[in-house]
């Protein structure tokens, strides 16, 4: 799959040294949440002094800075895209939030430059957060495309064991 990327983004990725910062923006949604949770991988602007909060403003939405690492999936047609996320477990509110919802949340991941946060360079489709592991120091999980892609087709077979009335 080909993408159209800005020359500034390509330069930021390929230059040995650059002043540009590549920022990942996450929008987490779930039916049990009152509002989407928006997270940024970069402390672009100081929003508050007490408590100390940094954020990234993009398209009139505020994404709160929470340090995390991620891997961008390959653009391969033979494999479903997977993104590995890892957060520092610095606040127990995230653990309580993850344990309070019973089904996996949807996560939209967007990649922007800190100098132009309103221009989305890469947008990964809405993915599902799964395989969450919580330790004393980290929270890690895997974002995968809708698991319906992995369902077999056709879903059922008309066999004597499954449909004895037909035989």
For the chain, give every domain's residue range: 21-166
135/142 Cα distance (integer angstroms): 15
4/9 Cα distance (integer angstroms): 10
Q: Does residue 1 register a pLDDT over 70?
A: no
For residues 109 and 127, the answer to whether their CB atoms sit within 8 Å is yes
Provide the edge-to-edge strand list for the sheet that holds 61-65: 45-49, 52-58, 61-65, 37-40, 22-29, 106-113, 122-134, 138-144, 82-88, 68-70
Nearest to 121, CA basis, from 130, 107, 104, 109: 109
pLDDT band at 159 (very low <50, low <70, confident <90, very high): confident
Each residue's pLDDT tens digit, 72-117 = 776 676 767 788 899 888 777 888 888 888 888 999 999 999 999 9
Using DSSP's 3-state secondary structure scheme, residue 11 falls into helix
Q: What is the pLDDT of residue 151?
A: 63
Each residue's pLDDT tens digit, 2-45 = 578 889 899 888 888 888 999 999 999 999 888 999 999 999 89
Q: Does residue 165 register a pLDDT over 70?
A: yes
DSSP 120-141: -SEEEEEEEEEEEEE-SSEEEE
Q: Does residue 57 register a pLDDT over 90?
A: yes
**Cis amide leading into 51 (omega within 30):** yes
Q: What is the pLDDT of residue 149?
A: 55
Question: Please, which residues have CB within 8 angstroms of residue 125's CB and are 6 or more apart in sequence?
Answer: 108, 145
Q: What is the pLDDT of residue 64?
A: 93
Name the pTM for this structure: 0.78
């Amino acid at each position: 799959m080909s993408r159209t990327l800005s020359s500034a983004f390509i330069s930021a990725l390929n230059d040995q040294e650059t002043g540009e910062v590549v920022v990942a923006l996450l929008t987490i949604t779930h039916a049990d949440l009152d509002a989407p949770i928006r997270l940024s991988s970069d402390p672009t602007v100081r929003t508050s002094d007490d408590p100390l909060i940094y954020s990234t403003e993009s398209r009139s939405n505020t994404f709160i800075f929470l340090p995390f690492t991620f891997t961008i999936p390959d653009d391969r047609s033979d494999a479903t895209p997977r993104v590995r996320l890892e957060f520092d477990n610095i606040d127990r509110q995230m653990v309580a939030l993850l344990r309070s919802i019973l089904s996996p949340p949807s996560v939209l991941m967007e990649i922007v430059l800190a100098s132009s946060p309103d221009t989305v360079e890469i947008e990964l489709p809405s993915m599902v957060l799964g395989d969450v592991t919580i330790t004393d120091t980290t929270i890690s999980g895997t974002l995968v495309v809708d698991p319906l892609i992995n369902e077999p087709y056709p879903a059922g077979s008309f066999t004597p064991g499954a449909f004895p009335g037909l035989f």
